[in-house]
Amino acid sequence: MKTNEIVGKKIIDKNVKEVGKIAEMTFDTKTFKLTGIYGSTGNPISKKYHDFKATDIMAIGDYLQVNVTKEELMENSLDKIPKSEGTNAKSSEIIGKKVLDCNGNDSGKVSSINIDIEKQEITSLNVSKSSSFTKSSEAKIEQDEITGFGDYILINKTLSFEDDKTGDEEEEKKETPEEEKVDININ
């Protein structure tokens, strides 16, 4: 499941009451494990945030079910989501980050994060690369191909995108016949 499919889901407490919506997810960039989920309540002017640890999560499906009560959440509410510290990174900080291949070349930007709900960890990142004609190609980076996380994401391979050919190369390929045929009539 992608993180952008999870953010925005409603949160249900252990008393089966709606307590808010998922606003953000945080991951450890060394282990790729989910370290927390931030839920939000209130309107955009007076929004409050709540920090859910991975141990608080009972299930993630159409809703996020947590094993705390609404009252416990209100006691520990935050005015804003804290900045990432150490090896933790927010999903919104990972999406849009540039990816560099093993040769130091720009391979594109992270377009989405795929996570395994059962294991609560990142399984892969989707990387998109835009061409000059606003077409974008997408490739998938598996967890074991990521070698570094910081201002950039480093991977141990070069990416090949499905739509790497330009329009001129495709036209040239269509115009060049595979074999030249000559009909000779001997009479």
Indicate if the pLDDT at residue 131 is higher than 70: no
Per-residue pLDDT, 61: 86
Maximum mean pLDDT: which of 139-143, 160-164, 171-175: 139-143
Predicted TM-score (pTM) of the model is 0.75
Per-residue pLDDT, 55: 84
pLDDT tens-digit series, residues 2-31: 888 889 999 999 999 998 999 999 999 999
Residues 6+ apart with CB under 8 A from 54: 33, 34, 35, 36, 120
Per-residue pLDDT, 132: 65
Indicate if the pLDDT at residue 126 is higher than 70: yes
Kindly report the number of other CB atoms within 10 A of residue 29's CB atom. 21
Indicate if the pLDDT at residue 32 is higher than 60: yes
CB contact at 8 A, 52 and 67:
no
Indicate if the pLDDT at residue 183 is higher than 70: no
CB contact at 8 A, 89 and 95:
no
**Helix, strand and coil in the chain, % to nearest 5:** 15, 40, 40
The mean predicted confidence, pLDDT, of the chain is 83
- For a pLDDT cut of 90, what percent of the chain falls above it? 36
Per-residue pLDDT, 24: 93
3-state secondary structure string across 13-28 = CCCCCEEEEEEEEEEE
Domains and CATH numbers, the chain: 3-90 (2.30.30.240), 93-163 (2.30.30.240)
